[in-house]
Amino acid sequence: MGGDAEARFCAGFIVASEPWITLGLTFEAALARLTDPSREVHVATVSGQIVGVLILFLDGTFKGYIQLLAVHPDWRSRGIGTRIIQFAEERIFRISPNVFLCVSSFNLEAQKFYERLGYRRVGELPDFVVNGFSEFLMRKTRGPLREFTPEK
């Protein structure tokens, strides 16, 4: 993240969009995620304008977890999300054979998007963020952990 103004801009368009409206994400919580030093944050730009943001978690059991992908509303349906996911996969597949993410049960468009990109549902977390909705754990894999050799 390039600085406070950039983080605040990203937090603003994140919390004004689904699924984060339904999930109740506040501006302060979004800003905290974007500035958390334990996360790897990437901003996508076109001609210097911020068009999307990606937060990766690269440690722990689910090394290679996409915590957040958001595309600015003015830039949706232009392939930005696909390019951001491709970037995330290139980054993650160097260190892990698996890419994980969660998608909300009510977010049907996002589920279809991830399925088109090769992600498969591997679990369900009922009432995980808010009551009445599940988060679906999705994974794209290149194979088992035991057969994987990280790039150096």
- Per-position DSSP letters for 106-146, written without gaps between them: T-HHHHHHHHHTT-EEEEEEETSSSTT-EEEEEEEESS-GG
Q: Where are the beta strands (DSSP E) in the chain?
A: 40-46, 49-57, 65-71, 98-104, 120-126, 134-141
Asked if 70 and 18 touch (Cβ cutoff 8 Å), the reply is no
Q: Give this prediction's pTM.
A: 0.93
Q: How far is Cα 89 from Cα 106, in angstroms, rounded to an integer?
A: 24
pLDDT value for 1? 63
Alpha-carbon distance 60 to 51, whole Å?
Answer: 29
Q: What is the pLDDT of residue 63?
A: 87
Quick check: 31 pLDDT over 70? yes
CATH number of 4-147: 3.40.630.30
What does the pLDDT look like over 83-121, one tens digit per residue?
Answer: 999 999 999 999 999 999 999 999 999 999 999 999 999
- The pLDDT value recorded for residue 77 is 92
